Chains A and B, each alone.
Chain A
């Protein structure tokens, strides 16, 4: 059993009671909602004649279903329109703050909350979305939940949960040039496997992690769930505090100093106990690309797709399925695989720093004629900032389409979808079968810089060959 880690401290602080079955009842300090997983929860409140207990602790935005080409209302898609209207109505009725399209603060929920300063160290955070683990980058403990649990948080501001074990993933040294947080987290998931994190919170630690910017840390924590860990976090440091300072909802004036003292007390103690510790060398990580149908099926850019014999017995079943679905041969190189669509965006890699890195690769270059490329900023704020820096123009001049903020083709709930068995180079988080909107569409996950490189060459490429 872990002791004195940040996870233990924050969990214990939020524990309300031990429930009759033996689970813990945990207070949720910040509840984020969106249009897809909340309507049935509000419906259930109504059925049970319950109110929202702390409406001021819930914040809403709309992201999954929003179109990225034309956001004027009503949306062309009636079902999407119905979903946004339902959210508007529920927020109004229950006095929940809603960052709607055009507010200047709309966007992917896991991009918006940090940029507003809502996400802070020491908080417990829940949202009806598995990528809620993103917020752990700030030293909060954050959990993806389902709709019934959204109902519970709305009604009671608490959740019934069993305490997770804690695994520290210690990353030595630092990433080399042309290698990004996305590569590191894909590497980690590949080494540990997609189910190693079941029952665990992941603490990402070590020099390579603290070298990362806050946005890169969010990329790492975001994908904890792809390794099976519902929660991933990083101990807060000066970078965390300076990111939060002066944000809209950050503590102000005299409160800032008090917050800082408390935040500094939260990090895992030096002699804290972990249920497990894994060490790896970040300097050895290379640009990484998935070749299969789980985020764990990845290889370095210059490696071959593994042979069946090279895989452990447990991995063989899914590998066979992956070769067939992806039409890849064991032993084939991933490099030079032709791509049809290039997508930059998502809660994993749709932040301003992601767009800057991709723009740096694209500057004065053209997207291959065979590729449809588009970029979807993670939020209205990201879009505004990018425009101020001229990044939108770099994308457009290269041949990328510049879109409006939303989740877009990460999960393809709007009209941004793959067609047939197209191959996409995608900065998103999931390469599951059918994930990007076509039942036989194929997704190769990679960093935004690698997506930009693939767009230029029309095939999977090593971005380091394009960087000066």
Chain B
């Protein structure tokens, strides 16, 4: 999966998990902020999104990791985090990509 494909998959997950009815994945800017300005997501959205991403990519977001703020800053940040975690995890322990 290329980084562009990963970013698009994350956008699909955002739309599905947060039930953004009038938003298409391709209309979500890759570098725009997800929280506050931009999509304006809140803590419940963060819960839904983190849960969906963990399920889909078999990654773990740590609430104590200061890098989380950067990871959740944008779709690009999430894609970079997911790609990094999947590299860090031994191949046999990875779940199947959707």
Q: Is B a genuine binding partner of A? A: no
Query: Which residues of A approach B to under 8 Å, CB–CB?
Result: none
